[in-house]
A = this chain, B = another copy of it.
Amino acid sequence: MTSWQIGELAQATGLTVRALHHYDRIGLLTPGSRGPGGHRRYSEADVRRLHQVVALRGFGLGLAEIATVLDDGAELDPRALVRQQLDQVTERLAAANRLRRDLVALLGMLDNAVEPSIDTLIEIIEGMTTMDRPLTQEQFEQLAEKRRKAAERLSPEQLAEMSAERERLMARLSPEELEEMQRHRAAMLPPT
C-alpha cells in the first residue's frame, strides 16, 4: 500500500502544493488520511481521482463542475456536457478572432501613421470602435499628410530601423494573417 506526500504528487502532476491544499479545502480531493504532524497522505485511490480532476480541468471544466461530474455525474448526459463546453469555447474563439482581426487592422493603420503616438493610437481606436467601419476619405488623407511630413524629418537610419522592425514583425505572421492584413490595407486605401 503505497501513499504519496503532497509534494511528490505536486511534482508528478505539475500542480502546486497550494493547488492541492485548495482542492482539499473545497472538498474536491481530500486525502484519505493524515500522517504524523498532520501531513496529508494520498492513497492510490486519491491519485486516481486526482488524475481525473486534472483531465477534466484540461477540458475546460471548473472545479465545481468537476466535483459534480465525479460525485453525482451518473445521471448527466456526457454528450450534452461536451456540447456545452464546445459552445463555450466556440464563443471565446469568435471573440478572440474578432479582437485579433481588429488588432491586425490597427497595426496596419499605425503603419500608415509614421511617428505614431499614443494619442494617435487612441484616436484610431476610438474611431474604430465608435464608427465600426474603415477610415473615411478625409481621415485617410490626414494620415497620409502627417506621414509625408513626418517622413521628411526622419534620418535614413531611422527609416532603415523602421523597415527592419516591420520585417521582424511580418516574419512572425502566418500566411493567412498576412493575407488578412493586405485585405485590410486594401479596404483602407482611397479609391484611385
Contact = CB atoms under 8 A, between A and B. Distances in A.
Interface of A: 51-52, 54-56, 58-60, 69-70, 73-74, 76, 78-79, 81-83, 85-86, 89-90, 92-93, 96-97, 99-100, 102-104, 106-107, 110, 116-122, 125-126, 128-130, 165, 169
B110 A86 contact: no
The prevalent SS among residues of A at the interface is helix
A89 B79 contact: no
Contact of A116 (B79, B125, B165): B79
Given A55-B129, A89-B103, A100-B93, A83 B169 contact: yes
B129 A81 contact: no
Contact of A110 (B79, B92, B97, B169): B79
Contacts of A81: 118, 121
